[in-house]
Amino acid sequence: MPHITVDDGAQIFYRDWGSGGSPVLLSHGWPLNSDAWEAAARFLAENGHRAVAHDRRGHGRSTQTWHGNEMDTYADDLARLVEALDLRDLTLVGHSTGGGEVVRYLARHGSSRVAKLVLVSAVPPLMVRTDDNPEGLPAQVFDDMRAAEAADRSQLYRDLADGPFFGHNRNGDVSRGFRDAFWSQGTACGHRAAYECIAAFSATDFREDLRGIDVPTLVVHGDDDQIVPFAVGGQRSAAMVPGATLTVYEGSGHALPDTDRERLHADLLAFVES
């Protein structure tokens, strides 16, 4: 399996599909891995683009490190991958936690290799409620998630898959296959990585990162997202990024790469080629 070795010796797994067209790098959500983007990667590669997706450290087939389970290290790992593959004129696409990763990459490493940015159901600007972020979610939400992850993480992943992640609790119309894939990817994530990443995605402040973005940006968010509510995430991110385009999927939830696959693929392709 292809890996790169980053500064602390961790190995980061990646897939690299297609050739010819401009590259697209797809960053996954918590507690998943690059398998979450495999349909989009196939679609983009079949439409003439180079599609790259990686397993974040601690997730999937990458090293389960004890340290480094936070956004700065995630972004630095991503920079090493971009450099190792010599990706240029790149479109960065981040879903959920991956949205934070790609935004922090731009803040720490700049946009010299990046042409465009797409945020899908992404965690920026700041999920947790603080004195200067009253729009956020109560800290207890994330404390409860950490407690559930520590006590019985396999059951937590079942509960998320059968409930708010896909919006299955709304209409009961999400396939068992999608829900089982979420559970399978979650249980492949390292226990410490999964636990610490909850703080990384909920308490990292991306507000200044967003204001500094200097590439064309598409923000895609469902208005029935129960994980990163639209008013907490996409709506505010789009307002902070200079010139960003906001696309709202009415009635859709958090797992747009699965539940709204065809529409998202079409929107991604159109934006990449615009």
Percent of the chain exceeding pLDDT 90 equals 99
Question: Which of 2, 10, 38 is closest to 193 using CA atoms?
Answer: 10
Our answer to whether residue 49 is catalytic in this structure is no
How much is the CA Rg of the chain, to the nearest whole Å?
Answer: 17
Dihedral sign from CA coordinates of 229, 158, 68, 102:
negative
- pLDDT band of 19, cuts 50, 70, 90: confident
Domain carrying residue 112: 3-272
pLDDT value of position 20: 78
| 254 belongs to the catalytic site | yes
Pairwise CA distance, residues 161 & 59, whole Å: 18
pLDDT over threshold 90, residue 158: yes
pTM for the predicted model, two decimal places: 0.98
Q: CA–CA distance from 247 to each of 30, 87, 118, 124 (Å)?
A: 22, 27, 11, 16
CATH number of domain containing 61: 3.40.50.1820
> What tokens were used for 36?
């979450």
Q: For the residues 90-99, what does the mean pLDDT come to?
A: 98
Report, as an integer, the average pLDDT of 208-237.
Answer: 98
Domain count, the chain: 1
User: What's the pLDDT at 1?
Assistant: 79
Sign of the C-alpha dihedral computed for residues 24, 269, 211 and 120 taken in this order? negative
Does residue 109 have a pLDDT over 90? yes
Catalytic-labelled residue, pool 59, 252, 254, 260:
254
- Rounded mean pLDDT of the chain? 98
Of the residues 16, 35, 77, 225, only one is catalytic, namely: 225
Q: Is residue 62's pLDDT more than 90?
A: yes
Instruction: Please give the average per-residue pLDDT across 255-266, as a whole number.
Output: 98
What DSSP designation does 56 have?
P
DSSP code, position 133: B
Active-site residue (options: 34, 96, 121, 252): 96
Residues in contact with 48: Cβ distance below 8 Å, sequence separation at least 6, in sequence order: 18, 20, 21
